[in-house]
Structure 1
Amino acid sequence: MTAQRVVEEVHHVADPEAMGALGSRLGRVLRAGDLVILTGPLGAGKTTLTRGIGEGLGVRGPVQSPTFVLARTHPSLVGGAPLVHVDAYRLAGPDELDDLDLDFEGSVVVAEWGAGIVDTRSSWIELVIERPMGTEDADTEAADWSEALIEPRRITITGYGPRWAGGVLP
């Protein structure tokens, strides 16, 4: 059975602060059991968005890219769900994700590069981040989006399944 798809409006963000604000807004509607898949090229702002989600959830930071550890858990400072931030880039498939033994039901899981790896659940959100690739510097990865050439991003939010049938952002 295919999960119901709800396409949200497209968001345009001009800079890292706007990306963080969008993430914070999203973080305020997330709860334990929610899965967020982030798709976009290197340096698109996936970790910047996740920092904002962490802020909206009220978790302990700093939220950093989990590239070298595959997953980082950030406990809640306000009695809510912890944030599990996953970098699925090096995972070959869902079986390797299962080996990480993540608490999907008790946490908010944000998976960078997670499309095709973790989108087999009954409900999830996918954010596709697009950025212009018109300059030579645009292909370089920066640890922090603010260190890269600042270009506007286009984010499409899609919710799948019954949890998101009414939309993702109010």
Structure 2
Amino acid sequence: MTRTGTIPLPDAAATEALGRALAPLLRAGDVVALFGDLGAGKTSLARGVLAALGLAEEAPSPTFAIVQPYAPPEVSLPVAHVDLYRLDDPEEAEELGLDELLEDGVLLVEWPERLGAALWPEALRLAIEPDGSGGRRLTWTAPAPWEARWPPR
């Protein structure tokens, strides 16, 4: 069963705070798909997750690296922060080894729409968009594996 809902994000601090709230809910094998236009707040949400998992410095955007891995002791759970913006074809993602990273860690994927039909069906989908009042709204879609975990309480 898939559930959906929305969460208001009045500012960047709220976006990062939501990422911090998401972090303790994560388990190895999870994919969080972050949808939104340039500047929507995808990286801010990912930075909140990484900070809550123990990353001491601010996480850089993985736009140029494409995959930025983090591993213990730097963070409490292995995480790959992925930015697929520069991919032209979903087949290019196969070369990134994302399934291997997922075996014992978590994927935070920006621009997941670049994967086309290859996006993991059990991914938590988070879409950030302007709300018309200067803030943003997060629309979430949580498949069955997330049912008891999302949204944060």
TM-score normalised by the shorter chain: which range applies? 0.7 to 0.9
Which whole-Å CA distance do the structure 1 matches of 2:12 and 2:40 have between them?
10
| 1:100 positional shift | 0.9
Moved over 4 A (4+): none
Question: Match of 2:72, SS?
Answer: coil
Deviations 1:17-64 (A, max 9, x none): 111100100111011111011111111111111000112222354311
Report if aligned partners of 2:53, 2:75 keep a CA contact under 8 Å in 1. no
The AA in structure 2 aligned to 1:28 is P
Unpaired segments of 5 or more residues in structure 2? Answer: none
Report if aligned partners of 1:19, 1:48 keep a CA contact under 8 Å in 2. yes
Q: Determine the structure 2 residue equivalent to 1:142.
A: none
Which of the residues 1, 6, 9 maps onto 2:3? 6
Question: Match of 1:115, SS?
Answer: helix
Q: Determine the structure 1 residue equivalent to 2:139.
A: 156
The AA in structure 1 aligned to 2:135 is P
Q: Determine the structure 2 residue equivalent to 1:115.
A: 113
Assess, with a 3 A threshold, how the Cα gap between structure 1 residues 17 and 76 changes in structure 2: closer, same or farther: farther
Instruction: Report which of the two structures shows the higher radius of gyration computed on alpha carbons.
Output: 1
Which whole-Å CA distance do the structure 1 matches of 2:108 and 2:125 have between them?
10
- Hey, which of these two has a bigger chunk of helix by percent? 2
The AA in structure 2 aligned to 1:55 is A
More off after superposition, 45-54 vs 85-94: 85-94
| 1:78 positional shift | 7.2
Report if aligned partners of 2:30, 2:105 keep a CA contact under 8 Å in 1. yes
Alignment length (residue pairs): 149
Which whole-Å CA distance do the structure 1 matches of 2:122 and 2:80 have between them?
17
Structural mapping, 1:11-90, within 5 Å: 11-59=7-55, 61-77=57-73, 80-90=76-86
The share of aligned pairs that are identical, in percent, is: 35
Which whole-Å CA distance do the structure 2 matches of 1:13 and 1:122 have between them?
25
Which whole-Å CA distance do the structure 1 matches of 2:56 and 2:145 have between them?
26
Deviations 1:89-133 (A, max 9, x none): 122344211201131121111111012517532411111001157
Assess, with a 3 A threshold, how the Cα gap between structure 1 residues 126 and 30 changes in structure 2: closer, same or farther: same
Normalising by structure 1, we get a TM-score of 0.77
Q: Determine the structure 2 residue equivalent to 1:165.
A: 147
